[in-house]
Structure 1
Amino acid sequence: MMMRMSGGGVCCDREYPASKMAASMEFSLEDLPSDPLLLILSFLDFRDLISCSYVSRRLHGLSGHNPLWKGLCQKYWLLSESNKTQKGQSWKDLFQEFYGNMGRYIDHYSTLKKAWDQLKTYLSQKCPRMITSLKEGASEEDLDAVEAQIGCKLPNDYRCSFRIHNGQKLVVPGLMGSMALSNHYRSEDLLDIETAAGGFQQRKGMRQCLPLTFCFHTGLSQYMALDSMEGRSRGEIFYQCPDQMAQDPSAIDMFITGSSFTEWFTSYVHNVVTEEYPIIRDQIFRYIHDKDCVATTGDIKVSVSTSFLPELSSVHPPHFFFTYRIRIEMAKNAHPENICQLDTRYWKITNANGNVEEVRGPGVVGEFPVMSPGKVHEYASCTTFSTTSEHMEGHYTFHRLKNKEEEFNVTIPRFHMVCPPFRVSAVRAQGSTSSLLGPPFDENSSDTDDYEEGQGLNIPPPSGRCPRHI
Structure 2
Amino acid sequence: MGCHVQLFRLPEEVIADNIFCYLDLKSLVRVSQTCKRLRNCAYTDGNWKILCQRYWLLTERERSTWREDFIAWYIDLGRYMYVYGPIRRLWDRILGCVRIKSPAIYETLNGPPATEQALDDIEYRLQRPLPKELRCSYRICNGQNLKTSHSRETEYGLLGMLIANNYSVCEVLLSAEGILRNLSQENKRRNAVHFTNRFIYPPGLHSTCNGKPGFSMRVCLKDNGDVRIGNVCIQMDETDAVVPTFVYASNFTEWLEQLACRLESKALMVNEGKISQFNSSSEGPLEMKKVKLDVATVLIPEFSSLVKSNAKLMHAYQITMSMADGILPKYCCTLETRQLEITEHDAESNQRTQEVQGEGVIAGERPNLKPGTKFTFASWTPLTAIEGFMTGKFKFKSNFDQQCFSVPCPKFEFRCPQIKNFKFD
Once the two structures are TM-superposed, the CA of residue 112 in structure 1 deviates from its matched residue by: 2.2
Matched residue, 1:144 = 120
Once the two structures are TM-superposed, the CA of residue 354 in structure 1 deviates from its matched residue by: 0.8
Aligned to 1:312, which of 281, 303, 314? 303
| Equivalent pair of 1:389/1:416 in contact (CA under 8 Å) | yes
Matched residue, 1:154 = 130
- My pick for the range that moved more, 34-43 or 395-404, is 34-43
- Seen in structure 2, the aligned counterparts of structure 1 residues 45 and 410 have a Cα distance that, compared at 3 Å, is farther
**1:194 is the counterpart of 2:180:** yes
- My pick for the range that moved more, 347-356 or 285-294, is 285-294
Matched residue, 2:244 = 253
- Seen in structure 2, the aligned counterparts of structure 1 residues 47 and 241 have a Cα distance that, compared at 3 Å, is closer
| Equivalent pair of 1:340/1:399 in contact (CA under 8 Å) | yes
Q: Which amino acid in the other structure matches residue 154 of structure 1?
A: L
Once the two structures are TM-superposed, the CA of residue 249 in structure 1 deviates from its matched residue by: 8.5
Aligned to 2:67, which of 76, 92, 105? 92
Aligned to 2:49, which of 38, 49, 70? 70
Once the two structures are TM-superposed, the CA of residue 27 in structure 1 deviates from its matched residue by: 6.1
1:410-421 → structure 2 map (5 Å cutoff): 410-419=407-416, 420-421=419-420
| Equivalent pair of 2:283/2:412 in contact (CA under 8 Å) | no
- Seen in structure 2, the aligned counterparts of structure 1 residues 56 and 393 have a Cα distance that, compared at 3 Å, is farther
Larger Rg, first or second structure (1 or 2) = 1
- My pick for the range that moved more, 194-203 or 224-233, is 194-203
Once the two structures are TM-superposed, the CA of residue 310 in structure 1 deviates from its matched residue by: 1.7
- Seen in structure 2, the aligned counterparts of structure 1 residues 34 and 421 have a Cα distance that, compared at 3 Å, is closer
**1:359 is the counterpart of 2:356:** yes
- Seen in structure 2, the aligned counterparts of structure 1 residues 68 and 37 have a Cα distance that, compared at 3 Å, is closer
Matched residue, 1:303 = 294
Once the two structures are TM-superposed, the CA of residue 152 in structure 1 deviates from its matched residue by: 1.1
| Equivalent pair of 1:138/1:166 in contact (CA under 8 Å) | yes
Matched residue, 1:441 = none
Q: Which amino acid in the other structure matches residue 369 of structure 1?
A: P
Matched residue, 1:239 = 234
- Seen in structure 2, the aligned counterparts of structure 1 residues 148 and 401 have a Cα distance that, compared at 3 Å, is closer
1:249-288 → structure 2 map (5 Å cutoff): 250-274=241-265, 276-288=267-279
**1:210 is the counterpart of 2:186:** no
| Equivalent pair of 1:202/1:208 in contact (CA under 8 Å) | no
Matched residue, 2:319 = 326
| Equivalent pair of 1:344/1:396 in contact (CA under 8 Å) | yes
Once the two structures are TM-superposed, the CA of residue 102 in structure 1 deviates from its matched residue by: 0.8
| Equivalent pair of 2:339/2:356 in contact (CA under 8 Å) | yes
Question: How many residues matched?
Answer: 390
Once the two structures are TM-superposed, the CA of residue 156 in structure 1 deviates from its matched residue by: 0.4
Q: Deviations over 1:125-151 (max 9, x none)?
A: 444444454553232233233323322
Q: Deviations over 1:336-375 (max 9, x none)?
A: 5444443322212101231112333232333333444444
Helix, strand or coil for the counterpart of 1:154? coil
Aligned to 2:216, which of 218, 221, 227? 221
Task: Provide the aligned C-alpha RMSD in A.
Answer: 3.4
Q: What 5-or-longer segments of structure 1 have no aligned partner?
A: 1-21, 430-470
Matched residue, 1:437 = none
Once the two structures are TM-superposed, the CA of residue 178 in structure 1 deviates from its matched residue by: 2.2
Matched residue, 2:203 = none
| Equivalent pair of 2:224/2:242 in contact (CA under 8 Å) | no
| Equivalent pair of 1:272/1:284 in contact (CA under 8 Å) | no
Q: What 5-or-longer segments of structure 2 have no aligned partner?
A: 200-209
- For 2:78 and 2:103, how far apart are their aligned partners in 1? 31
Aligned to 1:389, which of 387, 390, 407? 387
Once the two structures are TM-superposed, the CA of residue 260 in structure 1 deviates from its matched residue by: 1.1
| Equivalent pair of 2:113/2:141 in contact (CA under 8 Å) | yes
Structure 1 residue runs of 4 or more that deviate by more than 6 Å after TM superposition:
422-425
Once the two structures are TM-superposed, the CA of residue 110 in structure 1 deviates from its matched residue by: 2.1
- For 1:78 and 1:226, how far apart are their aligned partners in 2? 29
Q: Deviations over 1:356-410 (max 9, x none)?
A: 12333232333333444444333222222222222101222234333323x4332
- Seen in structure 2, the aligned counterparts of structure 1 residues 185 and 340 have a Cα distance that, compared at 3 Å, is closer
- For 1:55 and 1:289, how far apart are their aligned partners in 2? 61
Matched residue, 2:400 = 402
Matched residue, 2:207 = none
Helix, strand or coil for the counterpart of 1:106? helix
- For 1:256 and 1:200, how far apart are their aligned partners in 2? 22
Q: Deviations over 1:201-244 (max 9, x none)?
A: 757xxx5222222234361322221021333200112221669x
The structure showing larger relative contact order (alpha-carbon pairs under 8 Å, at least 6 residues apart) is 1
The TM-score with structure 2 as length reference comes to: 0.78
Aligned to 1:79, which of 40, 54, 58? 58
Matched residue, 2:25 = 46
Could you tell me the percent identity over the aligned residues?
A: 27
- For 1:75 and 1:28, how far apart are their aligned partners in 2? 25
